[in-house]
Structure formats: structure tokens, C-alpha cells
Structure 1
Amino acid sequence: MKLFNRFPAIIHHDDSTTAPSLDASLPARKWETILFSTVLIWTFLGLCFPMYDTDFWWHLKTGQSILAGNGIPGLDLYTFTDADKPWIDLHWGFQVLVAILYAIGGVPLVTLVKAGVVTAAVAIGWRACGNELPAWKKSLVWIFPIICIAGRGNERPEMLSQLFLAMWLWIAWRSEKQPDWMWWLPVLQIIWVNCHALFVLGLIVGFSYAVDAVIRTRWGGRFGLEPRTDGPPLGAVFVVAVLVALACLINPYFEEGALFPLTLYRKFSVEKEFYRQNIGEFRPPIDFVMQFGLSNLFVISELIVWLVTAASFVWLLVKKGRWSPYRLILFAGYSHLAWQASRNTNIFALVSAVIACQNFAAAEVIRSVSVAGSTAGDRPHQTGKRVKLAQGMTGLFVILTGLVVSGVWNQIGEKNKPFGLGEAPNWFIHDAAKFAGRDGFPMRAFVAHIGQAEVYVYHNGPLRKVFMDARLEVCTQQTFELYNGILAAMAAGDPIWQNLFREGEPPVVILDSRSSRPAINGMLQNPTWRLVFADKTGAVFLHIDTATRLSLPPVDPSPLMYPDGEPKEKSRGK
């Protein structure tokens, strides 16, 4: 049997994805196209909100460094605590991309491209569900997954991972009718492994597909399994699996890069108790439910996504007596990731939407009569109903889009995603970081929180270094614990933390005004440290000897009091 075939053309007509179902007339197809467009418009605009993500700045800095000819990093560049530690930076492809986009159009362009990439992932995921399910039903299934996706729609490498994951799902679906498409998977994997450590998500899809192929080849037609009459031969499946595995090695770090996802997985599994206490995105969704109840739109949406997808398996089993090993393994695997850490919500939602639609589509009652054999009154009735339902769902998504643009949607959600572009106001410590990088200032910095350390890195690295930043692939748990201890000592006014910096000049201390207020209060009471800069975003402290050497007097700390502006009571003179 011939295993290797030519690669299919990228542009290829396929009746399985374009042909209408038996009762879909031209008006129905037109309205379903309009509905699909409104879903994508809502998705895109819902992803257009000011940037809050602090990780963007170290990604940007590294991308600019690579474009400047400094190469892909192999050792840590930005901290003085882990300066000699290997740094596996699989994000370098993403970093080069954002550096180019930033040079052309700044943060607004990066945000627009992010919105476009994630919307493309939704569009591809939609297509991976086939056409058996009417568009109005598809759109109903996709509402809550899109809410989850937008809830974590940040300018991070995840945006590319969502696109690549959707492509994996689409190729896996399409390969059932056109096996040649699966030969694109190794190529896709080479690109993915050089953009984000979550390339392993594609391997989960491939593993699920291969297990399904073996099970249905051996037991298809029994135990509720669909007979495997289509799809690539098993030999070809395993050859592609080997090529995909080898493709993961094609990265600057070879086998260390290919195995790197295990390091990240350990942090939110084996070491999860520590990280979930210190990093919000490592907390499982159940923690947010226990703490805040069901008041968060995005947590509620994730629960609904899980319930709907689980119900789709039951529905298929009841209606057809069938179940899919491929979809069941996928659902179990991605549910595990989702309930381990909230940072996986978006990828879980994307996969679950595809799974649910495929299950519901498989459960659809297929008419056995042809178009020519249908009764004169039956087809117009079905077409009219389908048109009205598509029109109704289109109206719903138009309303949802209006809520996004008007700002009402932001009020319903977490109130941190208003419609717009650019940076979130008074969020990043740009001015404090620039001030702390002036000539004569210490070359080392202690910055809190660790996300804001990335802003300092962007403006001053790699020449000037920080104690710790948010790159958990570099900083160890021990460093993190020491960082927490320093913050606690600062807040308590305990000078013992200064013993860590006996060698050389004491570092400049930069504390953000939102998350580090106890430490700021403690430092203001410390006579050996002087506040030399303060604005709504952060405070800069220098040791009294350094401040005296630089002739920097103490400054007024009042801007730190109200980072979001003065309270209404004060502004009214009360």
C-alpha cells in the first residue's frame, strides 16, 4: 500500500464542506453565511480591548533582540538570580512576529492581529464541524466557547496555539474524506514548536485520532462504534505520527525543546499547590467558584461549555447508539487541562465547541429521500423554518456585537475589557521603569509584581537585570519563595531582606501601586530608603546613600493612593 502521496493543494474544492444539506435552499444558505459572518464579527470585536498582559513586554524585547541579530537566547538574559541558567525560549517565532507588528503599528496593530488570528481559529473550528448541523444550532453551541476564548484573548503566544490547534482539528476531520491532508501535519508542527510550548496540544489530537483509528478498525460496527470505512490507512496514520514526533525536534533546543512542555506541566500539576497560591492563572476554575460563587461570566461560561459538550455525548448515544473514541479522549484530555488551571480555558473551549458540534451533527436525523423525491410541501416548509432560525440567531449576534461596542458587555463581564485598542491606562510602570534606568542608578532591580518586572526589562534589559520576572520557564520555585519573603519583609518593615544584597550597591526597588501596597507602606516607613519617584502606576525607592549620591530628594507619595483616579467623594469636595 502506498503510504506517501502528494500534498494536496491549499485551495481545493470539496463538496463535503460546501454542499448544502437536502433541505437547504439558496435563501437558507445565504442566511447561514450571514449568520456565520456575524459570529466572526462578534468574536473579532470582543477581542478588541486594551492590552493588560505584562508578558507582552519581555516577548517584545526578545523579538527585537533577535531581529537585531543577537540570535535566539540560550541562557537567561534578564535576571541576576538565574543569569547562568539555560533558557528554552520556544516562543521565539511569536516574539519575532510581535516585534515586526509593533514596529509597524505599535500595540494597536498587535491587538488587531491577535483578534484576527483568534477569530480565524474560531472560523476553522466552525468548519471542522462539517455542514450536517444547521448553522443556527452551531452558533448556539459556539456562544459560550467564544466567551471563554475572549476572556483570555491576550497578546500572547497562545493566540497562535489556538490557530494551530484549530488547524489540527480541521485536518483530522477532513482527513476522513481526503487522507492526503494529514501529510500537512508535520509541517504545521514544525511551525508550532517554534512559536509556543503548547505545541503538545496537537499531539493530543493526533494521539486521540490514532487510537480511534485502531479501535474502529478492529471493532467498528460493535459496541456502538461507527465502522471505519473512510480515512487514511493505519500504516499511513502511524507514519505521519512518527513524522510529527520528529518535527517536534526541529527547534533551536532539539530534544530539550521537544520535552519542555513536561516542565510547564509539572508546575500546574506536581507543584500546583505553590503556584496556584501565587499565580491566578494557575488556579483551577473550581477555586474561583468556591471563592466568588457563580458571579463571574467567564467561569459560568466554562461550566456551561463542559456541560453542553458532555450532554452531546449522551445525546449521540441516545439518538444513534453511537460514541466516538476520538472525541471522548479529546474531551477527557482537555477537560483535565481546563480543570487543572484556568489558563487553559480558551483551548478547552475551542476543542469542546468542535467536539459538541460534531456529536450533535452525528446525531442529526438524515433524510433518506432525495431532493427529487421529497414532497412538494415538505421542502419549502423545512427551508422556511431554517431561514427563520438563522435570521433569529443572526439578530442575536448583532445584539451581542452592539453590547460589545457600546461597553455594556464589559460591564457584564470582568469590567477590564472595554472595547478599544492600545494599552490599558495607568496599568504598566513605563515611567517608573524609565526613571529607574537613568544613568547612575543601580544595575540591579527588585520589581514587584513580577509581571511589571517585564516592563523594566523592556526598557532597561538586558544590561540592567531584575531579581525575578514572570518567565516561569527560567525562575525556580526557590527564587519565587525568596521573592515572596522579601516582599513580606518590606511590608513588615523588617530590614533583614537587605542582607541578600550585601555585595555591591543595593538594588533599585520598584513597586506597582495596585498589588504591592503593603510593601510600599513598609518602605515609606523605612528610614534607610527614600521614595524618589511616584505616579499612579508605581513607586521607585533608592537606598538613602544612592539617593544622596544622585541628589534625588524625597517625593510626594500621594499619586500612589488612587491609581484609577481620585475617589468621587474627594473630587466633589466632600
Structure 2
Amino acid sequence: MAMTRQIMTWMARFAERQEARPLVGGQSVPGSRDLRDADQRNLSLERWHLLLLLMLLALPVLVKLQNNDFWAHAKVGEWMWQHRAIPRENLFVFTTPHYPWVNHSWLSAAFLYFIYRMGDIPAVQCFEYLCVALSFLILWKLWVRERNASGMALAAFSLAVATCQFRFQPRPELFSAVGMSFLLSFLVTYCAGQRKHLWSVPPLVVVWTNFHGGVLNGLAVFAVFWVAEAISTWQEWRRGKKGIGPHDVATRQLKHMTLVFAVSMLATVINPYGFHYYSSVAPGRIAMLRGYLLEWGPLVDFLPQLNTFTLSAMSLFTALALASFVEMKPSLDSSGRTKRSLRLRATPFHLTPFLLTVFATFLAWQALRHLWTATQILLAVTMMNLFVTRASIRRSVSMRRWNVAGVVVAACVGATLFYQNVSTSQRNGIGVDPSSVPLGLVRFMDANHITGRMFNTLGDSCYLTWKLCPAQKLFIDILNAYDASILAAAHQVLRGVPSPQVNIRRWNLDYAIFLEQEISSPFAIYLSRSPAWALVYWDGRSMLFLHRVQRFRDVIERHEYRLTNPSALGENVPADAVDAYLNEVRRSLRNPVKSPPLYVVAGNMFLQVGENVSAERCFSEAQRRDAFDVRAHLGLGICALRSRKPERAARHARWVLMLRPRTVEAWNLLGSAHRENRNLRKSAHAFRRGACLDKGNSFALRNLADVLESLGERDEMIRCLQQLVKNLPSDWDQRQRLALALLSAQRFREAERQLQIMLQQRPDSTPTMYALAVAKSRDARVAVGDIVTLLEQAIRIQPGLKNLILTDENFDRFRELPEFKKLLGRPQ
């Protein structure tokens, strides 16, 4: 709230020092010679600000190409160039052959493939940068057309870049962003009186329709402008009816906008699919995508994945847009003193900025994929609210402050973007990122002529589509040319529902491909343990399982991994198989595609059998290839901890936490390093953070309980043990430890409940019977017979307990009772 108020104060002071000048019909109020000189001085400053913005855009855009939508859309473009046709049915999946497909991005696919053919991946990345830059430059022109607010524009645009950076990818959405900027420019300048007509919009809609389905968002923005104009015209009509003023100009403007809007709506049917175009954005289809794809989910689901700096930039951008709606105006109070008060800013756009803000919020709330569009709309809203200001003859203090603030904000956003890249393993540069696309897998499949019906997941389908199709068909691809049943089937197969055997028979699968994040899925684990399947390839990035059939026999004999399996990391390796296990790990390192994930997985496998030196060598090689690889630093930290070097392990853990503060494994490593170094307070803090981030982090909870016990913090240790036994109900040792801690804290009823559960798990445990009898002896509601029965059972199993019962003070008040005398064999 304080941040928003400060922004509003700065903007209000800036507005006070401006000369209000409405722009009507493109005519400007003539300025003095001093004003023209000031404009010339500001022109060079504006150019420097623009250069800073262009440099800022390079950080999120010019990153090495990963396994994203570009590959699939480029493959569609290649198919179109080869067949001289527009696809009308499913092309690349075997699960829904001949499924009708409305490809609303067909022209984008052809264009992206053309760019690729012209200059390979560097040309694609340069084209991506040009499109992203153009989408912002069009709006920048609206901001600085008066050459008086480039500092404010730099701050706003820098925050906007940080907000929507996640959508900067070489995909059809690029064309939609450019189209939205052009549309906003046409509409804003028309409503401000600087454009005579809107007939540029229908041709834009025709082109936009064939490039991307985001044209419907553009038409919705046009509808918002029309609604605001209609309300304004109605208000003018009411005032004109009362004789307050003319309204014929507003009426003509509304009629013109209505006609252009109607023509623009009709222009959307100028596409190869006609009215069927709208079937690709039907509500049922959108609901299907929202259920399975993150980018179709609401923005709030994505926010927890962001770092603090990016969230701060997004919050500042939103605050700036909201602050533009108000201004601080001076007024005289009853004593004649000047006071300032907040009020809504008066603009020539009436309700348009407010309605656009509501619509932008709705878009971002509906789906993450609309974040870029929502950001563009909010930029236009902020500009519209400040559209009528003009620089004063003398350069104001507020202007200088905004210039400084713009540069500072741009520098902070640049640091945020760089941090975002390194913390998410994105590499700045030109080319393809080998650690994110299955290069080695595709080479292996080509070299060994592996064909048939495959299982793949949605995440790895993009690059596989580019390399394998149409010679081979996928189980699922990213083009969404299928119904909801295929998305559901892919998730069911991955989860092993109803069972892996049923799914294999249903789809007649010959081989299966898994990405790194799916190697621990139930289906991958089943294939790794099934004798009917063989693991023949893994590189840390992907895995390939082959069905043991005759045509794969030679490949399996030459390449099968019988012992090493990324899905089975953590399982014990038999002592007589260690040498064969190590040989397989070394064989995997002969993969011609050297990537950090390969060395990280190999290092973890070496650690599994105690080969600390080889593991450290692998992690070091992974770190050499990618200095910001989080898993490489974690592996080096574990190696250092095993080598009794806790300081070095702590350094690696802190490095990981600097990049990804929510990495549970790093907090575990840091806590272990501090514990090894006898710094129990810091160790407890690290384990506590790890347990807070992941309630199921049993390693942190177990070690935290040990450290807290050493520190004498019994109450927190009990809470820690309670969470631990909740996570691991069958862990008898930790439950016993919790029961004893509760007994020592004299929390006998809670201890009694834990001991009863323990007795159910191990009915013959005499220590548990004895401890439960002690707990019951402190509960006045428990009958003596229950205590005697427990002790009788314990004595029957271990007769020596009689002597302990005779000396135990907990039973002093029962010794004279007949039941106890009989139990202990004493005369009554």
C-alpha cells in the first residue's frame, strides 16, 4: 500500500508540472522556442532509454533454444512446404488417425519454417527478438510521442518485460503480440483524435487470424473500446438533449467504430477453415487444455514457481498501472492553506482504461498464456491515463527523478532477468541447448533403426516431432490435434492406470520414451523391473525402453543396461555386481552427446556404490559445462561431506540456495554440513527450513529431531517427531522415540496413544507393554486391571521384569493392591 501511494505521489508531482494539452485531430498547441529546445535535449535522452530497453529485451529472448513449441510448429511448416497444402487432419500421432484439425496457426508454422530454412536456429532467434522488440516499440512510440516521459516509459516497460518474460519463445504467439500492439495503437490514437479512421484494423485482423488464434483477444479489446465509446456517446446524448452541448461528433465516431468492428468480425472467416475456425477455441476444448497444460491454467497456479525478484517486478508493474488512475491535486482548506488530495484522473478516454484493466485482469486470471497480452493492455492503460500531460518549458525536478528512476528500474530488472535465466538453467546465447532436447536419444534411434508404436509424453513431443515425424508417429504431440481422451490416456499410461499391462496391450506399444522428470513415474518403474522390457539408452535427459521382441533382439543384446537404471537410483547394488554396474556407468559416459545431466546421473550412480572420487570427477565435469547447474553443485557438496570437508559442502549448498532458495536438498546438505561442523544452531535452522518447504522431508525431520535433542529443545523435538511418524506411519523406531519423549515430558495420554499403535504393530514387544503400563499408571481413568494385564503379558515373555516392577516408582501406589501382590508373587 505504501509502495502504491509513493508511486502515485511521484506521478502526481510529475503531472502537476505539465501543461495539460488535449490532442484533438492531431493538432498540437504551439510551443515556445524554449520548449522546442527542451524537446531536442530530451530526444537524445529518449534514444538512450530506448537503447537500454532493447538491451534489456535481449536477456530473456536470446537464450539457447530448448524443447519448446517451435519444433512442432516448424515441422508443420515443413509438411506444408513439401505438400503445398494446409493440414486439415492430425499429422503426427497414431492414437487419433485422421482426426479433423483446425490449425489456426498455419501461416505462423509456414513462416517459422521459412525463417529456419533461411538461416537455421540463429535466424529463428533473431526473428524472435525482432518480433518481441517490435511489440514493445509500437507501444513505446505512443508513450514518448511528446518526448517528455521516456524515463517513466523506461521504468514501466522494464517492469513489463520482467512480467511477461516467460512468454518470449519462437512460437505463433509472437505474431499475436505484434498484432495486439498494432491494434492498441490504432484504437488509442483514434480515440485521442490523432487518427481519422480505423480501416487499418480489418486488414490487420485478416492477417492476424491466419497467424494465431489470439486475434479473438484482439477483437475482445476492440469490443471493450466500443463499449466505452457507446457509454460515452450515450452520456453526450443525454447532455445534448438537455441543451448542455453537442453530441453529433461522438455519435459519428461510434457509428464508424461499430462499422469497423463488424467488418473486423467478418474478416476472421477469411481463412482456410471458414467458420470452423472457431471450433479450435470452443469452450469445451479450452477446458480440456486447462486441465492438462500449465500455460492454460490460471496465473495464480504459476506464481509459486517464481523467485522473489520476479514477483516484486510484477507487483511493481501492477502498482504502476493502478496508480496511473489517480492524481494528487492541490486545494485550499478553510484556513487558506494548500492541501493535496487524491482523486481519479480525468482523461479523454472516459471508461476505456478502467474496462481494459478489468479485461486484462480477467485474461491473466484465466490462463498464463494470456500474460503477455494482459501486460500489453496494462501498458496501454497506463499510457492512456497519462496521455494528456506535456512537459513544461523548464525541465522539472519530477522529470529528472523519473529519468533516474527509469535507469535504476531497468538495471534492477536486468539483474532480475539474468538471475531468472541462471536459476532456471536457461543459457544465454545462440543455438540449441543440448541439455534440454533429446539429441542423443534421437541419434541412437536413427543409428539403430528403431521404429514402431512408441509411448511418449507431452513434454518431450516437440523435438521428437521435428526429428522423427512423419516417418514415425507419436503417442501424443503438442499440436492438440486430438480430443480430451488422448490427453487423459497419456496421463493414465504414465501413472499406470488401470495397469501397465492393460495399457501396453491396448496401444500395442513397441517402445517407450521418458524425460528426466518422468523417470520415477509408475510406468517407468514398471518397465525397469519387467523382464519383457529392456532399458537400452539413458543419458540423464531421457530414457528408452524396448519391448523384447524379435526385431529389437540385436539392439537389446548390444546396448541393454541390466544394472544401471536412473529409475532405480537409491536401490542397493549386490556386492558381486558392483564391477558390472561400474562398467555400465562408464559405458554410458561414452555417449557422443556430452551434457551436464549425463554427468550428474553418472555421478549419482558412482555415489551409490561408494565411488566418491569418480563421482566428484563427474560432478566437476557437469559444473565445467554449466557453471550454474544446481544438481552438479549438490553432488559436489555430497562428495565434500563424505570426504569430511563440511565447509566446502556448505559453500556448495549456499550456492544452490542463492540460485534456488526453495531447493529442499540444498537445505538438507547445509544442515548436514553444519551438524558435521558441530554448529548445531545453524544446523537446526537449515533442517527446519527444509522441513517447512516439504512436510514430507523425512531426512530433515529425522536429523532435526536429533539436533533438537542435543540442544535440549524437547517440545519442538516432539512436534518434529509427530510430523515424522505422520509421514512414516510404519517407522516403529521413530514412533518409539516419540513415545519416550512424550513420557519424559509427562504427556502421558499422548504417549499412551503412540504406545498402543506400537503394540498393534509388534504385539510381542515387552518394552512397549511395560512403557504402556507406565503411561496408564499415570492416568486416573484407567482401571488397575488393565495395567496388571499388560504387566502379566510382559512378565510371561520376559520374567526378569518382576525385579524392575518392584523398584519402579511409577507403581508405588499399586503395590498394596491384591492384584499387584499376586502379580509379583508376594503374600497377600
2:436 to 422, 427, 432: 427
Give the distance between the partners of 1:381 and 1:441, measured in 2 at CA: 71
Matches of 2:112 and 2:251 in 1, distance apart?
A: 38
User: Are the counterparts in 2 of residues 175 and 232 from structure 1 also a CA contact under 8 Å?
Assistant: no
Within the candidate set 247, 251, 263, 2:271 is matched to 251
TM-superposed CA distance for 1:260, in Å, is 3.6
Partner amino acid, structure 1, of 2:466: Y
1:157 and 2:172 correspond: yes
Letter in 2 for 1:452: D
Q: Which amino acid aligns with 2:295?
A: E
Provide the rounded CA distance (Å) in 2 between the counterparts of 1:485 and 1:438. Answer: 31
- TM-score where L is the length of structure 2: 0.58
For residues 273-312 of structure 1, what are the alpha-carbon distances to aligned partners after superposition, in whole Å with 9 as ceiling and x for unaligned?
Answer: xx34x322233222244x56x7454444444433432332
Matched residue, 2:807: none
Correspondent of 1:345 among 371, 376, 379 = 371
Give the conservation status (yes or no) of the 8 Å contact 2:143–2:150.
Answer: no
Alignment of 1:66 onto 2:66: no
2:537 counterpart of 1:522: no
Correspondence 1:205 to 2:221: yes
* 1:124 partnered with 2:110: no
The answer to whether the 8 A contact 2:230-2:254 is kept is yes
8 Å contact kept, 1:198–1:261: no
Contact 1:309 / 1:355 at 8 angstroms: preserved in 2? yes
Distance 1:288 1:242, change over 3 A: closer
Q: Distance in 2 between matches of 1:561 and 1:287?
A: 33
The farther-off stretch of 316-325 and 329-338 is: 316-325
* Residue 568 of structure 2 is aligned to residue 562 of structure 1: no
Q: 1:29 to 1:111 in 2, by over 3 A?
A: same
Pairwise CA RMSD: 3.5
8 Å Cα contact 1:334/1:348 also seen in 2: yes
**Structure ID, larger Rg:** 2
Q: Does 2:453 correspond to 1:447?
A: no
2:488 aligned residue (478, 481, 488): 481
- Name the residue aligned to 1:305: 317
1:136-168 C-alpha deviation (Å, 9 max, x unpaired): 122222222111222221111111111110000
Following superposition of structure 1 onto structure 2, how do residues 42-121 of structure 1 map, counting pairs within 5 Å? Answer: 42-121=56-135
| Alignment correspondent of 1:370 | none
Aligned partners of 2:213, 2:45: CA distance in 1, in Å?
40
Name the CA distance, whole Å, in 1 between partners of 2:326 and 2:44: 32
Alignment of 1:28-427 (within 5 A): 28-129=42-143, 131=145, 134-176=149-191, 177-220=193-236, 233-257=253-277, 259-260=278-279, 262-263=281-282, 265-268=283-286, 270-271=287-288, 275-276=290-291, 278-289=292-303, 291=304, 295-315=307-327, 318-321=343-346, 324-362=350-388, 364=389, 379-382=393-396, 386=399, 389-390=402-403, 393-394=406-407, 397=410, 401=414, 407-408=418-419, 410-411=421-422, 414-427=423-436
Question: How many aligned residue pairs are there?
Answer: 530
Deviates more, 1:128-137 or 1:508-517: 128-137
More helix per residue: 2
Instruction: Go from structure 1 to structure 2 and tell me whether the alpha carbon gap of 1:115 and 1:22 turns closer, same or farther (over 3 Å shift).
Output: same
Paired with 1:161 and 1:79, the residues of 2 have a C-alpha distance of 27
Distance 1:15 1:392, change over 3 A: farther
Q: Give the Cα separation in 1 of the matches to 2:293 and 2:309.
A: 20
SS in 2 for 1:532: strand
Cα distance, 1:486–1:157 mapped onto 2, change above 3 Å: same
Query: What code does the residue aligned with 1:63 have?
Result: G
Q: Residue type matched to 1:476 in 2? A: D
Residue 89 (structure 1) shift: 1.0
The gaps in structure 2 that reach 5 residues or longer are: 1-24, 240-245, 329-341, 566-584, 589-597, 602-618, 623-631, 644-828
Tell whether 2:464 aligns with 1:456.
Answer: yes
What CA distance in whole angstroms lies between the structure 2 residues aligned with 1:443 and 1:545?
11
TM-aligned CA deviation for residue 392 of structure 1: 5.7
Is 1:509 the counterpart of 2:512 in the alignment?
yes
Tell me the SS of whatever aligns to 2:214: helix
Per mean C-alpha deviation after superposition, the further-off stretch among 128-137 and 191-200 is 128-137
Aligned match of 1:375: none
Higher relative contact order (CA 8 A, sep 6+): 1
Q: Find the aligned partners of 1:330 and 1:496 in 2 and give their Cα distance.
A: 51
Measure, in 1, the Cα distance between the counterparts of 2:344 and 2:170: 42
- Distance in 2 between residues matched to 1:22 and 1:125, nearest whole Å: 24
- Against the structure 1 CA distance between its residues 42 and 145, is the aligned structure 2 distance closer, same or farther, given a 3 Å change threshold? same
Q: Which residue of 2 aligns with 1:9?
A: none
Given residue 216 of structure 1, which amino acid in structure 2 is its aligned partner? Answer: S
Inter-partner Cα distance in structure 2 for 1:18 and 1:528: 85
**TM-score normalized by the length of structure 1:** 0.82
Question: Following TM superposition, by how much is the alpha carbon of 1:205 offset from its aligned partner in structure 2, in angstroms?
Answer: 1.9
Distance in 1, matches of 2:284 and 2:326, equals: 33
AA of the residue aligned to 1:541: F
Cα separation, partners in 2 of 1:112 and 1:16, compared to 1, 3 Å: farther
Describe the SS at the equivalent of 1:530: strand
Q: Provide the rounded CA distance (Å) in 2 between the counterparts of 1:19 and 1:74.
A: 59
Calculate percent identity across the aligned residue pairs. Answer: 19
User: In the alignment, is the contact (CA less than 8 A) between 1:45 and 1:401 conserved in 2?
Assistant: yes
What runs of 5+ residues in structure 1 fail to find an aligned partner?
Answer: 1-12, 368-377
